[in-house]
Structure 1
Amino acid sequence: MTPLSEQLAELSKRAADVESRVEAFKQEADDMRDAKVAKLKAEVESAQNRFESSVASKKDEVTSAWAEFNANMKARADKVKAEIEAKKEAIDKGRAERRADRLEDNAAASIAFALLAMEDAEYAVAEAVDARLHAQSFE
């Protein structure tokens, strides 16, 4: 198993990478953005499948909170996918603006959810470290 400190470092690096990719995404042409959205959709589905496989192999270790987290993330991803498909239906500026507002709100909610997950991960890491130190104190 990868050490928790390495997992946290990877999480931090990926968060910074997302920020820079979002800025670059804003500068791309429409057809390039459409292709990127399709690629990101496939990557999210792949990550969800890997997570679900991991959870399935460790069913006894997974708490109901994480199962709920996974269900929420999948529901959010499905909603985002549906809204991306709705892009084709945005005919006038007003509809396009409302759609952009909804998707920005969804992105903000996803970021807030990710921050909550990071806080939960920090707590889980602290608890794991504490438990390991306690176990080692008996040696």
Structure 2
Amino acid sequence: MQQVSDRLVELSHRAKAAEDAVAAAKTQTRDKLTDIVDQARQKAERRADGLLADGDRMLEDVDNRWSGMQAQWKNLVRTVRTEVRDTQASFDATRIQRRADRAEQSADMAVAFALAALEEAEYAVLDATLARADANDAAAGVGPN
């Protein structure tokens, strides 16, 4: 398993790449923008499928997915806080090791969800950019290619 800190670096790099992709998309032709949106959608779907393959479930509807991630995040925070309190009450080395393992797994899951959310956000912004380009074309009396 990748180190949690490495996954966080991946998240940071992925966020920057998404930001750059969205900025670059604004200067693209409609055909190129359509291709970029399709690629972003496919990447988001692959990331979501990867989460499903790992046993994490992603809900079909974006609103439901977001609600589910929020609930899981709240559960994660609650679990981590409970484990911190439990650890403070017990200095058993084996128990502390298991707690560290669980904390790393929880952190890894949180980063995986963040990556999936980032892929979805990039797709949504690019799709909105394409929709705005279509609206501008329609207002100018130009049909889609």
Length-normalised TM-score, structure 2: 0.49
1-side partners of 2:81 and 2:136: how far apart? Answer: 47
The residue that corresponds to 1:66 in the other structure is 66
1:1-139 equivalent positions in 2, closer than 5 A = 12=12, 63-139=63-139
Which stretches in structure 2 are left out of the alignment for 5+ residues?
1-10, 17-61, 140-145
Q: CA RMSD in A?
A: 2.6
Of the structure 1 ranges 90-99 and 101-110, higher mean CA displacement relative to structure 2 is found in 90-99
Structure 1 or 2, whichever has the larger Rg, is 2
Offset, 1:106: 0.8
Offset, 1:80: 1.9
How many percent identity over aligned positions? 40
2-side partners of 1:105 and 1:86: how far apart? Answer: 18
Code of the residue aligned with 1:76 in structure 2: it is: L
The residue that corresponds to 2:32 in the other structure is none
Code of the residue aligned with 1:133 in structure 2: it is: A
Offset, 1:64: 2.8
1-side partners of 2:88 and 2:109: how far apart? Answer: 23
Offset, 1:69: 2.6
Offset, 1:12: 4.8
> Deviation digits for residues 10-44 of structure 1, max 9, x if unmatched?
x959x79xxxxxxxxxxxxxxxxxxxxxxxxxxxx
1-side partners of 2:12 and 2:112: how far apart? Answer: 15
Decide whether aligned partners of structure 1 residues 110 and 136 sit closer, same or farther in structure 2, where only a CA change above 3 A counts: same
1-side partners of 2:134 and 2:69: how far apart? Answer: 29
SS in 1 for 2:138: coil
1-side partners of 2:113 and 2:102: how far apart? Answer: 16
Offset, 1:109: 0.9
Which stretches in structure 1 are left out of the alignment for 5+ residues?
1-10, 17-61
2-side partners of 1:90 and 1:130: how far apart? Answer: 56
**4+ residue segments displaced more than 6 Å:** none
Of the structure 1 ranges 79-88 and 126-135, higher mean CA displacement relative to structure 2 is found in 79-88
Code of the residue aligned with 1:81 in structure 2: it is: R
SS in 2 for 1:137: helix
